[in-house]
Amino acid sequence: QIPTEQWAQVLEKTGGTVVHKKIPVPKPGPDEVLINIKYSGVCHTDLHAVKGDWPLATKIPLVGGHEGAGVVVARGELVNDIQIGDYAGIKWLNGSCLSCSFCRTANEPLCPKPDLSGYTVDGSFQQYAIGKAAHVARIPKECDLEAIAPILCAGLTVYKGLKESGARPGEFVAIVGAGGGLGSMALQYARAMGLHAIAIDGGAEKEKMCKELGATTYVDFTTSKNLVEDVKKATPEGYGPHAVLLLAVTEKPFQQASEYVRSHGTIVCVGLPANAFLKAPVFDTVTRMINIKGSYVGNRQDTAEAIDFFRRGLIKAPYKVVGLSKLQEVFDLMEAGKIAGRYVVDTSQ
C-alpha cells in the first residue's frame, strides 16, 4: 500500500523558491528504512540550503528538511532492529560511514563522509523519506509526532550544545537567539537541566515567549543601550554567565560574547551565519581564561537522550503547524525574522 508517487517540496535551483509537486516514492537500500513522514520541522538550516550561502554545495534538485517524524513503512534486508510500524525520525545526519575513527568514537557528526538530510540527500519535506537504519531516530510510541519533530534537530542540537558548555545545575547560561527555533528549545532544555537562562533576542512577542519558557531575564538586542552590561547585570555579582550558547544567524553576537561571558566561562557557537568570523581579544581570552568552541548536532546517544527529555514531558516549546504546501511562506517569515519558536509542516496538506 506504499504509493509510487507522493507530494514533496522541491528546490530546483539554488537561490530559487521551493515547488510543491508530485515525485516518485524512493525505495530503501539494504541498510535503509523508508519512513512515511507525517510532520517535519522547518529549521533555519533549510533556508541556508535554499539560499546556498554556506561553503558547502547541496544536491540539486533537492528535497529539504531534517526534522521529519513518521512511521517506518519499509526496510532493507539488512535491517532487523527496527520494525514496520515503529515511529522513527529523519535527522540532519542521515548516515555516516560507521567505520572511521570519528564514527568509532561516537563522533558520527564529524565523519568525513556524512549523508546530510535535506542537503546532500533528500530529506523530510516529502511524504516518504529514506534514512540509514543505524541513524534514524527511534521515537517511542507514546510520543506525539507533531510535537517531537523539532526535537530531531533543534532539540538535539541545543541539548548537545548545553552539554558541551560544561555548565552545571545552578549556573547561568545566555541563550543568544532565544526567540527562534533552537532558542525556544534551549530555554526548555536549560530549565530541565537546572540552569538559569538569560534570553537574548528582539521584540515583544519573543520576550513574552521566552519568559513563558523559563528565561530568568530577557535582553532585547534591538533596544538595549548596553547589551554587555544588561547581560552581566542578570547574573550573581555581575560577573556574567558561565556559558553562552550562540544560536543567532548574524555575526555581531559572535564578536560580542567574549565581552560578557564569565571568566573561565565557555562560549559555544552553534548558529551558522554566512561568511561570518569569530573575533575575541587575545588579552581577555588569556587573562580571563575564556573557552570558545563549536557544537554540531549530536550523536546517536545524544539523540536518544534529547528524545527522552521530551518523552518525560520536560520539553514543551511552541510550534505552529501548516501544510507542507505552505513551506515557501514559512521560509519568507523566517527570512524576515518573524518566527517565534518553530514551524512544523504537515505532509498531508
Q: Is 68 in the site for ligand 8ID (CB under 6 A)?
A: no
Please tell me the count of residues contacting ligand 8ID according to CB under 6 A: 32
Site for ligand 8ID in 202-261 (CB under 6 A): 202, 221, 247-250, 252-253
Range 318-330 burial, b when 16+ CB lie within 10 A, else e: ebeeeebebbeeb
Instruction: Look at residue 202 and give the partner it binds from Zn ion, ligand 8ID, none, a contact being a CB closer than 5 to 8 Å depending on partner kind.
Output: ligand 8ID
Distance CA 34, CA 45 (A): 23
From 97, 134, 272, 276, residue interacting with ligand 8ID (rule: CB under 6 A): 272
Ramachandran category for residue 84: left, alpha or beta (phi over 0 → left; psi -120 to 50 → alpha): beta
Q: Is 197 in the site for ligand 8ID (CB under 6 A)?
A: no
Q: Are 5 and 24 in contact (CB under 8 A)?
A: yes
Q: Is 117 in the site for Zn ion (CB under 5 A)?
A: no
| Cell (9 digits) for 88 | 522513527
- Mapped onto helix, strand or coil, the DSSP state of residue 254 is helix
Q: Is 330 in the site for Zn ion (CB under 5 A)?
A: no
Q: Is 120 in the site for Zn ion (CB under 5 A)?
A: no
Identity of the residue, 160 or 242, whose beta carbon is nearer to ligand 8ID in the bound complex: 160
From 9, 45, 94, 303, residue interacting with Zn ion (rule: CB under 5 A): 45
- Contact segment (CB under 5 A) with Zn ion among 37-45, 101-109, 265-273, 315-323 equals 37-45
Q: Is 148 in the site for Zn ion (CB under 5 A)?
A: no
Q: Smallest distance from the beta carbon of 49 to ligand 8ID, in angstroms? A: 9
Instruction: Look at residue 46 and give the partner it binds from Zn ion, ligand 8ID, none, a contact being a CB closer than 5 to 8 Å depending on partner kind.
Output: none
Ramachandran category for residue 270: left, alpha or beta (phi over 0 → left; psi -120 to 50 → alpha): alpha
| C-beta nearest to ligand 8ID: residue | 180
Please provide the distance, in angstroms rounded to a whole number, between the alpha carbons at the two ends of the chain: 19
From 18, 43, 199, 327, residue interacting with Zn ion (rule: CB under 5 A): 43
**Peptide bond just before 28 cis, omega within 30 deg:** no
* DSSP sequence for 198-218: EEEE-SHHHHHHHHHTT-SEE
Q: Is 157 in the site for ligand 8ID (CB under 6 A)?
A: yes
The residue type found at 30 is P
Identity of the residue, 11 or 200, whose beta carbon is nearer to ligand 8ID in the bound complex: 200
Distance CA 309, CA 95 (A): 24
Identity of the residue, 136 or 247, whose beta carbon is nearer to ligand 8ID in the bound complex: 247
Q: Nearest CA to 5 among 29, 22, 27?
A: 22
For the chain, counts of helices (H) and of strands (E): 11, 17
User: How open is the CA angle 25-125-39, to the nearest 5 degrees?
Assistant: 105
Question: Which residues in this chain contact ligand 8ID in the complex, by CB under 6 A?
Answer: 43-45, 48, 153, 157, 176-177, 179-183, 200-202, 221, 247-250, 252-253, 270-272, 295-297, 334, 337, 339
Question: Which residues in this chain contact Zn ion in the complex, by CB under 5 A?
Answer: 43, 45, 153
